[in-house]
Amino acid sequence: MTMETANAEKTVPGTAGASAVESESPVVDPTANENYFNRELSHLQFNYRVLQQALDPSHPLINRLIFCCIFSSNMDEFFEIRVAGLRQQMKYGRESVGPDGILPTQLLTDISQVAHQYIEEQYDILNNVLIPEMEKENIRFVRRREWTPAQAEWVRTYFEEEILPVVNPIGLDPSHPFPRLVNKSLNFIVELDGKDAFGRETGMAIVPAPKSLPRLVRLPDEVCDGGDNLVFLSSMIHAHADELFPGMEIKGCYQFRLTRNADLVLEDDLEDLASALRGELLSRRFGDGVRLEVADNCPDELIQFLLREFGLSERDLYQVHGPVNLTRLMAVGSLVDRPDLLYPGFSPAVPKKIRNNEDIFGVIRQKPILLHHPYESFTPVIDFLRQAAKDPNVLAIRQTLYRTGTGSEIVEALMDAARRGKEVTAVIELRARFDEAENLELASRLQEAGVVVVYGVVGFKTHAKMIMVVRREDGRLKRYVHLGTGNYHAGNARLYTDYSLLSCDDALGDDVNKLFQQLTGMGKVLKIKKLFHAPFTLHKRLIEMIDREASYGDKGHIIFKINALTEPEVMLALYRASQAGVRVDLIIRGICCLRPGVPGLSENIHVRSIIGRFLEHTRVYYFGNNGKPEIYGSSADGMVRNLINRVEVAFPVDDKSLAERMISDLNAYLTDNCQSWELQTDGSYVQNHPAEGEERFVAQQALLEGLINK
């Protein structure tokens, strides 16, 4: 398929082609609040689409449970960051609104209503769908009332040997005030009767469950009648709470969990970013409370006591029928040996031209390399650095690092290069959310190996994904670059969809070199030839290219594949393009504040979200450009933070065959009729299904089969 024909051949089930706006179409104000969805409510809808995967029988059963857990993890972060931010706005009188015009006060109420509905449905799915289906597969969560004498005795021994020595119960009295509980930790509030050894009648105690303890434990086969039998830590603590308070009567024991504000606030005029960040990380565990989860059998007087202690209201209370920390149920996949209930494993493809090739630079000189992870291996990117580290002709390596993961082979290659005497510079973004501590440790390791470590630019997160290798060839210096849409994290590269481009294009190399100069040195903005880079040119160029497409009317075509769209000016430009008749296809995994299908405004805009086995993470911008298509990979989403407040890069894919391949990938996503969800004008999402007589088409599966079989 050529670039010229790809657009014509693409079809989207259930939608019509673009048409010019008729003169009698209503006049619509594109800036009106009703033409935008709220960012936070759209974020919640994405989380809900993830939860719905737990009901999809096309996913293996354990993976369906994992989707249920991922929903919990996503909701945790939503409360830690987004809800916490709204509460902070209200606390300090700094309320702000987005294009939708909803004030934080009303928004928190709306969020509470929606979140309560979704979480109630989550526990219904867990208790009435997933657990019964797992029991049919002989995977059982054994409740206390179901323990056989042999199991009860095993649990008692486990409690005394593994739990009791590390649990520290805290009685509440004037000399023992309410403890400062760690963010998202599992805790129990216990009602007591009687006097302790000192004659105190406290009536109440808190039992924090150490994070070191597993939340699920597999019962040994010898005390079970076959199958996989799992018991909750909470069940074991409930069963033996009396051993924590000898001589006292346990009137009740109820689990609860507090979610705290986990966002970090750093001033822009810091003298030492690393030191300031270390201090802030200590406070993250004990930020203000934003949500209280409690077992639904907990008495109201205890719930009210907890709400008062944490300064929360009924709006922030979530009473749940089951474990309060569902994220830890992900352990099921490793506790039971049932590969038949998990996605089948696969080996990512490695392009033939670089398979077992010890001269990756020679391959890149012949033709740039485009990799589509996870269908294609991340190993060539690691090999690119490994070969550069060992190559005597390589003089310097520069790289940005946002997330890398523990034991990163990327990091080992950089350290090896530095030890071999090469000039190695790493621009590390310390403020990569929830990876800050790991990045501080990473920076120390690299510095010890002789790598020059730079922390980017204060006030602008460095989110661009770039490597530059400077090599001496034929008496002159040649630059080789890697540009990506994802992170330098080998683990994520097996779970996230992303593109990697390896090239030795002189203009790209010169641009990347200038960007590193801006990040590590001082000076004015340098002129860039091919790349678009935030915070300087990317936002402006995106809008210019959207407007250029609008000038082609109904012959225009725009495809954005991104993770979120919230930036007002970009949305306004897309509205203008739609009004001009341009076909606009937006493949947006998560948040979308743009309202499609509004007559006279956005009837030519179609928005879909792909949710499946892999996390869709590629950022791609496609412009039809009047028959001369242009396509870009990017590290940036369509958000204010990416386009205005971060260091980001969008890179052109000029090679015709590579561009055609990316367009073909986009077409696969636009044709998916199983794992795609269409955003409606009213803000709801409707999952696509094959029409009568239409074959099932799952984009991720098609891409997986197409690449790993090469």
Sequence ranges of the binding site for ATP: 74, 496, 589, 617
Q: For 521, left (φ over 0), alpha (ψ -120 to 50), or beta?
A: beta
Residue in 674, 704, 703 with CA at minimum distance from that of residue 690 = 674
**Rounded to an integer, what distance in angstroms lies between the CA atom of residue 32 and that of residue 30?**
6
Q: With beta carbons less than 8 A apart as the criterion, state whether 638 and 570 touch.
A: yes
365: its two tokens: 């000189």
Residues whose CB is less than 8 angstroms from the CB of residue 513 and which lie 6 or more positions away in sequence, other chains included: 468, 479
Q: Is the CA virtual torsion 95, 101, 105, 109 positive or negative? A: negative
HSE of 416, CA atoms in CB hemisphere, 13 A: 17
446: its two tokens: 């690299």
Has 482 been annotated as catalytic?
Answer: no
First-to-final CA distance of the chain: 18
Q: In degrees rounded to 5, what are phi and psi of residue 331? A: -65, -15
CA-to-CA dists, residue 99 to 93, 103, 602, 678, angstroms: 19, 11, 16, 22
371: its two tokens: 């990799």
**Rounded to an integer, what distance in angstroms lies between the CA atom of residue 364 and that of residue 352?**
13
Q: In degrees rounded to 5, what are phi and psi of residue 199? A: 80, 15
Q: What kind and span of H or E run contains 370?
A: strand 369-373
Q: In degrees rounded to 5, what are phi and psi of residue 419? A: -65, -25
CA-to-CA dists, residue 413 to 416, 418, 501, angstroms: 5, 9, 19
**Rounded to an integer, what distance in angstroms lies between the CA atom of residue 240 and that of residue 227?**
26
- Catalytic residue of the set 372, 463, 533, 606: 463
Catalytic residues: 463
